[in-house]
A = this chain, B = another copy of it.
Amino acid sequence: MLKGRKKRVKILVTGGAGFIGSHVVDRGLADGHDVVAVDNLSTGRKEFIQDALAHPQFSLVEADIFTQPDRLTEVMAGCDVVFHLAANADVRFGLEHPRRDLEQNTIATFNVLEAMRANGVRRIAFSSTGSVYGESSVIPTPEDAPFPVQTSLYAASKLPGEAMIQAYCEGYDMQGYIFRFVSLLGERYSHGHVFDFLKKLTADPNRLHVLGDGHQKKSYLYVGDCIDAMFCALSNATDPVNIFNLGTDEYVEVNDSIRCICDHLGVTPELDYAGGERGWIGDNPFIFLDCQRIRSLGWAPTRTIRESIVHTVDYLRSQPWLLEARS
């Protein structure tokens, strides 16, 4: 990371034992940096950071960044950059517990920024979401799309994170990297449609219940490509506030995704559609981001969406403990 800066830096990763965070941990260590992972292990897993735990330049701090801001401030001492990836990533069931998004996403991000301010840490990378565009009138959607209207509590708790980071950059001379992800796939993926479909098809290969009408258009990105993109941005983008969409230059319908999974598994289930344009309230029927900005820095994804789906199915089948652990 950090072209033209000191070679070895200290990175703090919130959500460092999670799906994305554990990959950032691995990449940070591989690049020779010191890495501190902070995770409350609510959805993060020690299995994801098994290699890191054996590494002399790594430490895991079991702490909750919402309820333990003082502990966060303490362990951030001496860090050069924060990857703030801890979040309540449960988009679909947000309406059942709106406080969770406020606390774990919005207030937790405030805690991270205050811990940075207390420690004089200037750089932050933040996992936002393409969902902040709501149902955009412009598709593919660029970073400067028309001012959006939020349709999910999840995005409505990530947008404040973006906003606070931007205001802290302006007011306290910090440097922010805001990444608006599409959904990610790949190793350690354990939440989302491929997971759900695979789990259902493993239980019953003859029948598959599908939320919505199957025509929802979604974009996915391989987690390895996502990590490359984030590190590329931190090395090459130099503005006080740097905002990047991260995705591929394509999308698939849910039906395409199902076909891809079924072909790979060799099953031909009867499809049972719930119907409707959206899978749930707040579901966006068409997510497709314009990623020219990050591509202009030289980054490009290495896997297509279909390749990522197949790769993820293979990964999950190699990790039956993971497929069984989550409902």
- Taking Cβ atoms with an 8 Å cutoff, the residues of A that contact B are 94-95, 98-99, 102, 106-107, 110, 113-114, 133-134, 137, 143-153, 155-157, 159-160, 162-164, 166-168, 170-172, 241, 243, 281-282
A114-B98 in contact (CB<8A):
yes
A163-B155 in contact (CB<8A):
yes
A151-B163 in contact (CB<8A):
no
| Max chain B Cβ within 10 angstroms of own Cβ: one of A113, A157, A160 | A160
**A and B contact pairs by CB, cutoff 8 A, 29 listed:** A94-B167, A95-B171, A98-B113, A99-B110, A106-B106, A106-B160, A107-B107, A134-B166, A137-B144, A144-B146, A144-B147, A145-B146, A146-B147, A147-B147, A149-B166, A149-B243, A150-B162, A150-B163, A150-B166, A150-B167, A150-B170, A151-B170, A152-B171, A153-B168, A153-B171, A155-B167, A156-B160, A157-B163, A159-B159
Q: How far is the CA of A119 from the CA of B164 in the complex (A)?
A: 31
Closest CB of chain B to A298's CB: distance in Å?
24
Q: CB-CB < 8 A to A172: which residues of B?
A: 95
Closest CB of chain B to A66's CB: distance in Å?
13
Q: How far is the CA of A159 from the CA of B132 in the complex (A)?
A: 12
B114-A107 in contact (CB<8A):
no
Q: How far is the CA of A241 from the CA of B281 in the complex (A)?
A: 15
A167-B102 in contact (CB<8A):
no
Q: How far is the CA of A133 from the CA of B147 in the complex (A)?
A: 9
Q: How far is the CA of A320 from the CA of B144 in the complex (A)?
A: 47
A167-B163 in contact (CB<8A):
no
Q: CB-CB < 8 A to A170: which residues of B?
A: 150-152, 281-282
Closest CB of chain B to A168's CB: distance in Å?
8
Q: How far is the CA of A170 from the CA of B131 in the complex (A)?
A: 14
Q: CB-CB < 8 A to A102: which residues of B?
A: 107, 110, 164
Q: CB-CB < 8 A to A133: which residues of B?
A: 147
Q: How far is the CA of A114 from the CA of B146 in the complex (A)?
A: 28
Q: How far is the CA of A241 from the CA of B145 in the complex (A)?
A: 19
What are the 8 closest A-B residue pairs judged by CB atoms, nearest first? A160-B160, A156-B167, A156-B163, A144-B146, A150-B166, A150-B163, A95-B171, A151-B170
